[in-house]
Amino acid sequence: MSGCVLVTGGAGFIGSRIVDQLVASGRAVRVVDCFHPAAHDHRPDYLNPGAEYIDADLADPGIYDRALDGVDSVCHQAAMVGLGLDFGDAQDYVEANCLGTARLLTALSKRSFTGPLVLASSMVIYGEGRYSCPVHGPVRPAPRDRADLAAGRFEPLCPTCQEQLRPELVPEEAPPDPRNVYAASKLHQEHLCSLFARESGEVRFTALRYHNVYGPRMPRDTPYAGVASIFRSALENGKAPRVFEDGGQIRDFVHVDDVARANLLALDPISTAEGPFNIASGRPRTILDMAELLAQESGDAAPTPQVTGEFRLGDVRHVFADPSRARDQLGFTAGIGLEEGMKEFATTELR
């Protein structure tokens, strides 16, 4: 197969939408996916018949002769996602995300691959977002304290004067500060790919730092389910979405079809865009905003979201992106707003 795009994780929520758009654009597509039971309880029926599928794990070095035959572009979406239950999950994340990426890059190096290479990265590498203190200017908040969270004190404070910090847009040059194992593994993926590109001297590497992606084919009731999917499942069962903390956490919700389109822009052989890009809508909203919109679009009988005060120590308070670099260099601007997206999402098929 000549001029083929390899999409790892191409049977998943985001990867499958990328495959659909690539096939529709006339590209030859090969998918490698291990159909991990944490993400798939059955082989999806939405798999695009215009792509070739290889059922395999990237950590298996024996797959690459077939997987990379004729490949001139790589879209690396495969990853184990989620916060993890505790640090005991570290080995699983490192094996899936870091070892799998290392094996892929090793195989590409042996075949003198020249790119482009596109990585599904994540806003989780930033940890807490960007903040400023009214007295001390830009500051990095300390890790969240369990006692503060339990007492309902959710907003980060200035480590010097204890004033409440003001959240701001996070640019790509913000220092990474991963605050869970998944985040650390995504940052390591970026580092590995960046080193590979630098050593090759020819590979154009693009890291797309996804913000909160939602939309059709989103997994439900699995470790891969995002907050929008969890809320949607609750509403389907006649239950109120349980909104953690006070619901004021700010995020940027971006539709999966916009994310897929960003990947096609990065894979374009004539593109010169490289480095990291925030892939976001540019219209940040609170978690409670999203839950209320989803409930509103789910019908008059839908229960009202319930703010619970619960928390997860590995979560962050606010993180939302500056999308200007993606607009100016990648040519990407999100086209689907949250109101439109939630209207669709309220009735779309999940998996």
37: Cβ contacts below 8 Å, ≥ 6 apart: none
Rg (CA), the chain: 20
DSSP state of 180: S
Distance CA 215, CA 113 (A): 33
Residue type, 9: G
Q: What positions carry a catalytic annotation?
A: 182
Q: For residue 38, what are the CA distances in angstroms to 99, 139, 214, 273?
A: 18, 38, 18, 33
What is the C-alpha end-to-end distance of the chain, expressed in Å?
A: 31
Which ranges of the chain does DSSP label H, i.e. alpha helix? Answer: 13-24, 64-67, 90-93, 100-110, 146-150, 181-200, 227-236, 256-267, 287-297, 324-325, 338-345
Task: Characterise 24 by phi-psi region: left (phi > 0), alpha (psi -120 to 50), beta (else).
Answer: alpha
Q: How far is CA 199 from CA 113, 159, 165, 195, 205, in A?
A: 12, 40, 41, 6, 12
Residue with tokens 């659909």: 20
Q: Compute the distance between CA of residue 112 and CA of residue 133 in angstroms, rounded to an integer.
A: 49
Helix (H, G, I), strand (E, B) or coil at 337: coil
CA–CA separation, 25 and 30 (whole Å):
14
- Rounded CA separation 115/73 (Å): 5
The DSSP element (H or E) to which 205 belongs, if any, is strand 205-210
